[in-house]
């Protein structure tokens, strides 16, 4: 039974819903790839909110695809096992022992946590890695990085099958080599490759900062390719933000309409970005 009382908050909520109509219409049937970084995963409560947002997206006709990271969780397990780990240009140098841990953590604990969270909210999520159904085939990225892969062949057929069954794919960033090897793919790189193969309407890169920052720490609300190249060259964009911005450019080149780098720790970040006029973070779009 609804309580028949007037309250400013509820009136504002109703107005927000009403104002969402043009956005709901715009994204009906759209494909939205969301990269959920390890740093953005946070508490169980934050995961629950994220999962609810994803289920809502699906409910209103969007086809969401989740590609996740899990760097901090891999670090934790490597430390327990006393395996040393180094990063070059934001990517983990991956030998065979490291690869075993990466696969175990990403395909196991991290992937299933997200799948379970979505299913608990009434969605239907299926966990897979880039190795399933030939989704992502890799070539070695750089001999210095060992088993780090560059996605060179992405077959999104399995994802389209899942869309047609109202199912939400949750993808761990691993890929197969041409000779049966397993490759570790940076989560942003994997998300970009999947988004390009699907010609996604949006790629949302959820991280732990408000967006891409200039040297004074101000978030740049819109970024061009030239700005990104200059900022990487000058060291203003560093560490994990390098693969993120490079991914954004590659995704746009590959046919994605727009990429947004946003703070995934902010409550309802995904809904705010898609269904309200209050988009946040840094936008990179096709020219």
Ligand X SMILES: CC(=O)N[C@@H](CCC(=O)OP(=O)(O)O)C(=O)O
Q: Using CB under 6 A, list all residues that contact ligand ADP.
A: 37-40, 69, 71, 207-209, 212-213, 236-241
The full DSSP string for the chain is -------HHHHHHHHHHHHTHHHHHHTTT-EEEEEE-HHHH-SHHHHHHHHHHHHHHHHTT-EEEEEE--HHHHHHHHHHTT----EETTEE-B-HHHHHHHHIIIIIIIHHHHHHHHHHTT--EEEEETTGGG-EEEEES-GGGBSBEEEEEE-THHHHHHHHTT-EEEEESEEE-TTS-EEE--HHHHHHHHHHHHT-SEEEEEESSSS-B-TTSPBPSB--HHHHHHHHHTTSS-TTHHHHHHHHHHHHHTT-SEEEEEETTSTTHHHHHHHSS---SEEEE--
156 binds ligand X (CB under 6 A): no
- What is the C-alpha separation between 167 and 124, in angstroms, rounded? 5
Nearer to ligand ADP, 51 or 162 (CB): 51
> Nearer to ligand ADP by C-beta: 136 or 242?
242
How many residues at the interface with ligand X, by CB under 6 A? 17
Q: How far is the CB of 35 from ligand X (least distance, A)?
A: 7
- Residue closer to ligand X by CB (options 102, 269) is 102
User: Rounded to the nearest 5 degrees, what angle is found at the Cα of 56, between the Cα atoms of 50 and 57?
Assistant: 90
Q: Residue 238 binds what, of ligand X, ligand ADP, none (CB under 5 to 8 Å, by partner type)?
A: ligand ADP
Q: Is 38 annotated as a binding residue?
A: no
186 annotated to a ligand binding site = no
CB of 15 to ligand X, least distance (A): 36
Q: Which is nearer to ligand X, 130 or 156 (CB)?
A: 130
> Is residue 91 a contact point for ligand X (CB under 6 A)?
yes
For the CB of residue 104, give the shortest distance to ligand ADP in the complex, in Å.
Answer: 19
Residue 64 contacts which entry, ligand X, ligand ADP, none (Cβ below 5-8 A, type-dependent)? none
180-239 residues in contact with ligand X (CB under 6 A) are 184-187
Contact predicate 251/195, CB 8 Å: yes
Is the Cβ of residue 143 or residue 287 nearer to ligand X in the bound state? 143
Q: Minimum distance between the CB of residue 122 and ligand X, rounded to whole angstroms?
A: 27
Shortest CB 87 distance to ligand X, Å: 7
Q: Is 71 annotated as a binding residue?
A: yes
Known binding residue 92? Answer is yes
Nearer to ligand ADP, 162 or 187 (CB): 187
Q: Report the residue number whose CB is nearest to ligand ADP.
A: 240
Place of tokens 């691993």: 174
Rounded Cα distance, 5 and 239, in Å: 52
Query: Can you give the binding site for ligand X, defined by CB under 6 A?
Result: 37-39, 69-71, 74, 91-92, 102, 148, 173, 184-187, 240
Indicate the annotated binding residues for substrate: 70-71, 92, 184
């Amino acid at each position: 039974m609804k309580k028949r009382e007037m309250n400013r908050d509820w009136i504002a909520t109703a107005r927000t819903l009403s104002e969402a109509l043009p956005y709901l219409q715009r994204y009906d049937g759209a494909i939205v790839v969301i990269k959920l970084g390890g740093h953005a995963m946070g508490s169980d409560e934050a995961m629950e909110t994220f999962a609810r947002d994803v289920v809502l997206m699906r409910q209103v006709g969007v086809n969401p695809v989740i590609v996740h990271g899990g760097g901090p969780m891999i670090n934790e397990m490597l430390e327990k096992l006393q395996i040393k780990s180094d990063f070059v240009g934001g990517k983990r140098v991956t030998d065979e022992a490291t690869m075993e841990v990466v696969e175990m953590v990403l395909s196991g604990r991290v992937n299933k946590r997200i799948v379970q969270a979505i299913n608990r909210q009434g969605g239907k999520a299926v966990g897979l890695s880039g190795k399933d159904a030939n989704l992502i085939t890799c070539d070695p990225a750089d001999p210095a990085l060992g088993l780090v892969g560059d996605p060179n062949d992405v077959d999104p057929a399995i994802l389209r099958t899942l869309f047609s069954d109202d199912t939400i794919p949750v993808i761990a960033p691993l890929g197969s080599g041409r000779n049966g090897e397993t490759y570790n793919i940076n989560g942003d790189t994997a998300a970009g490759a999947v988004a390009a193969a699907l010609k996604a309407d949006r790629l949302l890169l959820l991280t732990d900062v408000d967006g891409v920052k200039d040297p004074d720490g101000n978030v740049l609300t819109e970024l061009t390719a030239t700005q990104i190249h200059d900022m990487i060259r000058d060291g203003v964009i560093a560490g994990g933000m390098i693969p993120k911005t490079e991914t954004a450019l590659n995704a746009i080149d590959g046919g994605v309409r727009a990429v947004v780098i946003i703070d995934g720790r902010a409550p309802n970040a995904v809904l705010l970005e898609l269904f309200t006029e209050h988009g946040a973070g840094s936008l990179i779009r096709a020219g």
